[in-house]
Structures are given as C-alpha cells and as structure tokens.
Amino acid sequence: MKTVQQIKHLIEDNRHRLKYYHEEMTKSERNRMIRRNEIMLDLQRYLETNPKKEVIERETQRLKKIITAKKAQYYYWRTCVITEIMLPAMQSRLYCKESGLTMLRKQLKNLNFILNENQEQSTLR
C-alpha cells in the first residue's frame, strides 16, 4: 500500500517536471501532468485520514460488483431506453456517462493505485 510520503514524492516529481521541462512539453502533456497532480493531491488527502488496507480492499470489491452490474444492464438500456439511432460507440459513451460508470472506474483505478506498490503513476491517465 502506498504511503503519504510516496504520494508527496510523486507530486513533487511532477511539479519539478512541469517547472523545468515546461517549454519542451506539448500543451496536452502539461494539462495531463496538472490533472495527474490534482488526482495525487486527492489521494494524499485520502491517505492522510489513515484508511486501513482492508477497508480499501472492501471498497474495491464493492466498486467491481457495481461496475459489473451496470455493465449487465447495458443491453436493456440500449434496447428499451434509448430511442434515437446512434452509433454503438456513442451509445456506449452515453450509457457510461448516465450510469456513472466513468466515475466508478476512476475511483477503482485510484484505489488500485493506492494498493499496488509496483504500479507507476502513468496508469492514472
């Protein structure tokens, strides 16, 4: 499990990169680094509350169950709820947005990042 000090180190590393390599980065890379820092600050605040590893593991299991349940409801939503003719990719994006799947996946990814020692920061994209 990651510690507050590890997260702080990652935040400082990102800030250093932004400061010294600002000109060499593209605008999208800079924005990605800024968003990543915001996520890391949220994770740092969460870890400062001293959550137990078991609680985080239970929360990840709960999120996985919710995500699989919402994925199972997609077919019903696509056939019965949606009335417009859309491309399948657009339908999928709309369903993820309406059902909150996108937010749940981000939460799950962040909790997995906290739990895994070997996971790199680049997985937060």
Total length of the chain: 125
Tell me the percentage of the chain whose pLDDT exceeds 70: 93
At residue 103, the pLDDT reads 95
Tell me if 114 sits within 8 A of 66, measured CB to CB: no
Model confidence at 121: pLDDT above 80: no
Q: What is the pLDDT of residues 32-48, one digit of tens each?
A: 999 999 999 999 999 99
Q: What is the pLDDT of residues 45-83, one digit of tens each?
A: 999 999 999 999 999 999 999 999 999 999 998 888 877
At residue 120, the pLDDT reads 61
The pTM assigned to this predicted structure is: 0.82
SS (H, E, C) the chain: CCCHHHHHHHHHHHHHHHHHCCCCCCHHHHHHHHHHHHHHHHHHHHHCCCCCHHHHHHHHHHHHHHHHHHHHCHHHHHHHHCCCCCCHHHHHHHHHHHHCHHHHHHHHHHHHHHHCCCCCHHHHC
